[in-house]
Structures are given as structure tokens and as C-alpha cells.
Amino acid sequence: MTPDPITLEPEASLMRALELMRRRSIRRVPLVRDGVFMGLLVEGDLKRAEPSMLTNSQEEFTRVMEETPISRIMIKNPVTIHPDAPLLEAAETLFTTKYGALPVIENDKLVGILTDNDLMRALVDVLRG
């Protein structure tokens, strides 16, 4: 897993999330408030929520993105996993749900995120011996 992932608060704007995800080249952002895990924002949901650049002006796009909080589109109860869960369980969960990430939660606190890339890295390590 990736420990201590980059997070945002649910009240942050979609624009802040978009900029963060582009700058850090990440596709998912766990959402926390006062250290408590609140939900997950994924790139696909953010893209679907963006106003179309073809039908709206840049000013309208910016206004909507800056005025809309992440809480409007976040996944409020995503599938999560405990840090002590076996890697096989995590991999099976990602495979069967077709999700790209699992927030790792302990006592309502986010301790990490397990992504499809984390699992691929583990597979490469195992195959290399």
C-alpha cells in the first residue's frame, strides 16, 4: 500500500482536486476531515462532473469547478480494507469489484491506500524473486 497518501477535505473544490491530481499524477484522492476518513474521489467521477469545454466558456468552467465542493461527487462509502488484511483478500476485492484502489482504514482513520499499481509492483517483486 501507499502509506499516508495525499488527501483533501470533502469541502475542497473540484478545481483544487483537478489541479492536485494533475500535478501529482494520481487518479484517486482519499477524503478526510479532522483525521477521519470520509470518502474517495476518483478521476473518472471528476471528469464526468467537469463542465464541457466545448459548450461552456473557460470562465464558466472555472467558476463551476471552483464553486463545487468534492462532497457533491465523492464516493461516500467506498469499499475499504484493514491494514492487517491478507494481500490475497485485497487483490481479490480489487479484481472482483473492478475498482482501482482500496482505502486502508484502521479505527476510522486513513492509514494508506492500496492501488492497482501497488499490486502490480508486488507482483513484479514476487516474479523477480
Which pLDDT does position 18 carry in this prediction?
96
Q: Which segments of 43-115 are extended strands (E)? A: 101-106, 109-115
pLDDT level of residue 109 (50, 70, 90 thresholds): very high
The domain limits of the chain are 2-128
Which pLDDT does position 101 carry in this prediction?
95
Which pLDDT does position 26 carry in this prediction?
96
Which pLDDT does position 59 carry in this prediction?
86
80, 102 Cβ separation under 8 angstroms: yes
Whole-Å CA distances, 100 to 56, 69, 110: 31, 23, 17
Which pLDDT does position 61 carry in this prediction?
87
Q: Which of 24, 41, 30 is nearest to 1 (CA)?
A: 30
Which pLDDT does position 58 carry in this prediction?
83
Task: Identify the CATH number of the domain defined by range 2-128.
Answer: 3.10.580.10
102, 109 Cβ separation under 8 angstroms: no
pLDDT digits (tens, 9 = 90+) for 24-69: 999 999 999 998 999 999 999 999 998 876 766 888 888 999 999 9
